Structure 1
């Protein structure tokens, strides 16, 4: 879609060139959502793709994923990590989360990790990935400082997050202890080609035996539950019961009571798979 209110495109190549970012400016990376509907409030685009961020940086402590990294690059890790990092059995989760987005190869090749997270929609594929793997995001502020936020605190509701005016999401960090953990993934939509109505991911840490369960898409923000040992069915039921009714997503893809019931069913499947 043409954005006929845009009068200028700014392409910074250094951090200090990004700002100022005004109320009528929009950060552009992949642009798959930005160009999908009218943006009458936007008069200038700030294209951050020339800042030279490596898409993915590996270390023994984990991996840093640039905000400008495409979802196609993330999804491909499912195929490359087993040989590159055989000690990271969480590899299947990358492809599973990207597939849950239900996007064409063109969208996956352009859409970015940062855009998916910053939109903060309940069914955000990268929010599901980051929630399951203890992800944190690094944000650049206009004053030159950085701050780091766990993904569960970054997303505050459907389409809302903690970003302040002028903030730019720099990267997503996934720690090695989570990547070393076997995972189990469940996704359900009310129709074969429908948007995710429920995404539940389980993880059993190899380091300390901790069991982690994340719920996204079904809820307006991520919910992550931690158990020191593999939980019983009753413990799973009690934990999920703590999610308030207002926290469940209500839209054309499923009512809250359906999402709550399905979340419990999928969580129990995951509990059995990882126990």
Structure 2
């Protein structure tokens, strides 16, 4: 779609004062998908030269905001992390064409803040931390689970840029379980729940996305029973936090959330010693 209100496209390497009507341009797959009447200038990140993915000396994975879904998928296929299969599962949750995979970015998916964003699901479940950079150069770090605070609402200040997402080595070593539901075979996620089991201390974490307006993470220091998981989900998600749109009613999303949380509990705790 042509954005006929845009009067200028600037290279992000050229520092300039941030002003109302500016927007960061990554892959642009969402930006150009619908009218953006408030945007006057695009700040293009495509020539920044950020390395898409790199593993630090500590074993953490650093994902540049401009890393595409295709790059992430290829990288994870050759990785030996226990959690590696989760990357492909979440990439496939896009249910998008190869054109989108080669253009859409991890950072763009997070910054859209949509409940069904599978990169939000992936990075929140693996304890990802967003590195945010202000126009002044000041950097702050926010956990992904706290970065998205509502449907399309993010913890982003004016002019602030999502530079990268860091996934800790310990999270990459966890056993994972993945559940996804949609009203249609090739439809948008209406519920996407991920479980991780830490081999070091046995902690179970269940991360709820897509069915809720924000990521919700539950942690259990000791293996919980079914009643404990049900109670935790009931307490953590308010009734008005279940998302409501054409892709699923809140009551159904809630039902699938409880169902998936229990399935994941059984998979990761009852099979933990196998």
Using structure 1 for the length normalisation, give the TM-score: 0.94
Structure 1 segments (4+ residues) deviating >6 Å: none
Asked if 1:144 corresponds to 2:137, the answer is yes
SS of residue paired to 1:235: helix
Q: Tell me the CA shift for residue 43 of structure 1.
A: 1.7
Asked if 1:256 corresponds to 2:250, the answer is yes
Q: What residue in structure 1 maps to residue 59 of structure 2?
A: 61
1:97-156 CA-to-partner distances (Å, cap 9, x unmatched) read: 111111111001100011100000000111000111001100001222100000111111
Match of 1:233 among 215, 221, 226: 226
Inter-partner Cα distance in structure 2 for 1:207 and 1:53: 33
SS of residue paired to 1:202: strand
SS of residue paired to 1:259: helix
Inter-partner Cα distance in structure 2 for 1:19 and 1:67: 20
SS of residue paired to 2:165: strand
Q: What residue in structure 1 maps to residue 238 of structure 2?
A: 244
Q: Tell me the CA shift for residue 267 of structure 1.
A: 1.2
Say which is worse superposed, 56-65 or 89-98, in terms of deviation.
56-65
Asked if 1:268 corresponds to 2:265, the answer is no
Using structure 2 for the length normalisation, give the TM-score: 0.95
Q: Structure 2: which 5+ residue stretches go unaligned? A: 270-274
**CA 139–213 in structure 1, closer or farther in 2 if over 3 Å, else same:** same
Q: What residue in structure 1 maps to residue 71 of structure 2?
A: 73
Inter-partner Cα distance in structure 2 for 1:131 and 1:44: 31
Q: What residue in structure 2 maps to residue 184 of structure 1?
A: 177
SS of residue paired to 1:177: helix
1:35-70 CA-to-partner distances (Å, cap 9, x unmatched) read: 111122212110012111100010233110000000
Q: Tell me the CA shift for residue 271 of structure 1.
A: 1.1
> RMSD over aligned Cα, in angstroms?
1.1
Say which is worse superposed, 69-78 or 224-233, in terms of deviation.
69-78
CA contact (8 A) 1:198 1:262 kept: yes
CA contact (8 A) 1:3 1:39 kept: yes
1:246-272 CA-to-partner distances (Å, cap 9, x unmatched) read: 111011111111111111111111111
| Aligned positions, number | 267
Match of 1:102 among 95, 99, 102: 95
CA contact (8 A) 1:20 1:166 kept: no
Q: What residue in structure 2 maps to residue 45 of structure 1?
A: 42
Asked if 1:210 corresponds to 2:203, the answer is yes
SS of residue paired to 1:257: helix
Match of 2:157 among 164, 176, 192: 164
Q: What residue in structure 2 maps to residue 121 of structure 1?
A: 114
1:219-249 CA-to-partner distances (Å, cap 9, x unmatched) read: 0000000000221111110111111001110
Inter-partner Cα distance in structure 2 for 1:67 and 1:174: 13
SS of residue paired to 2:246: coil
Inter-partner Cα distance in structure 2 for 1:108 and 1:142: 29
Inter-partner Cα distance in structure 1 for 2:162 and 2:253: 30
Asked if 1:91 corresponds to 2:89, the answer is no
CA contact (8 A) 1:19 1:166 kept: no
